[in-house]
A = this chain, B = another copy of it.
Amino acid sequence: MAGRLYGLGIGPGDPELLTLKAKRILEEVDLICTPQSSKDKRSVALDIVEEVVDCQGRVKYFFFPMTKDKLKLNQAWDKAAEEIIELLKLDQDVAFITLGDPLLYSTYIYILERVRGKEFEVETVPGITSINACSARLNLPLAEGREKVLIIPAAYDCDDLEEILTSYENVVLMKVSKNYEEIVNLLEKLDLVENGVFISRCGQEKEFISRNLRSLIGEKIDYLSMIIVKRHFKFDS
C-alpha cells in the first residue's frame, strides 16, 4: 500500500477557476505540496488554494531557486522528488499544486519525471492556463476556424521570433519580462505592436492589462506576464 501523487493545476489566479476535481482532491489529500521561489515569501499558489480549501496543518513547502543553472535546479528537483517519494511510501496521498496547468512549463513536470515509472500511482489534473484565462479576461478569441496558435516561452532567446510572428495568426509570448524591450522593438519593426496586448497576473490582485506595449518599456515587468499577438487584429491603445 502506498500513497498517490496528484499533480494539480489550480489556474492562474482567480480561486474560482479551480476545477471541481482539484477542490475535491485538495480536500481529501493528506499533504499539499507547494513550490516557493524564495524562502521568506509566501506561495502564490497556496494563497489561491486557501481561498477555497482549508489547508491548515497539511502544507509542505518546496524551495525551487529562480535560476537557469541546471545543476542547482536538478538538485532541488531531486530533493523534492525524494521527499515526496518518502511520503508516498508512508501511504500519504500528496497533491503537488501548480499555477496554471501542471504540464505546461511547470515545476511539476520535473517531479513527475522522477516519480513516474516507480510503484506509485500518479494522477495529473489539468488546470486553466494563464493563456486561456487572459483570452477570456479580454473577451478575445485565441483562435478560430483554420487559424493556428503558437506558444513561446519568451524568457528564452528565440532566434526565429521574427519569422514566427509573421507566419502565425496567433502567437502567445509567455514570461516576457526578461526580453520585453527587445520583443516590443521587434513587434514595432514588423508593424505588429498594435496587434499585441500585455497582461500580467491575470485574475490575481495585481492583475495589469495594457494595449499600449510601447508605454511599458523601461517599467518593471512582472515575472508572470505575457503578450498575445493577433496578426489580423489591431488593439486600440
Contact = CB atoms under 8 A, between A and B. Distances in A.
A128 B133 CA distance: 10
Contact of A20 (B20, B112, B129, B146): B20
A133 B132 CA distance: 13
Given A147-B153, A153-B146, A112 B141 contact: yes
A142 B103 contact: yes
Given A21-B16, A149-B150, A103 B132 contact: yes
A90 to B, nearest CB: 22
A18 B19 CA distance: 5
Interface in A120-139: 122-129, 132-133, 135-137, 139
A interface, size bucket: 35 or more
B141 A136 contact: no
Interface in A90-146: 101-106, 109-110, 112, 116, 122-129, 132-133, 135-137, 139-146
A151 B153 contact: no
A67 to B, nearest CB: 13
Contact of A52 (B20, B116, B122, B153): B20
A171 B86 CA distance: 36
Contact of A112 (B105, B139, B151, B152): B139
Contacts of A143: 104-105, 151, 153
Contacts of A234: none
A147 B109 CA distance: 13
Contact of A126 (B17, B102, B122, B150): B17
A101 B19 contact: no
Contacts of A133: 126
A148 B150 contact: yes
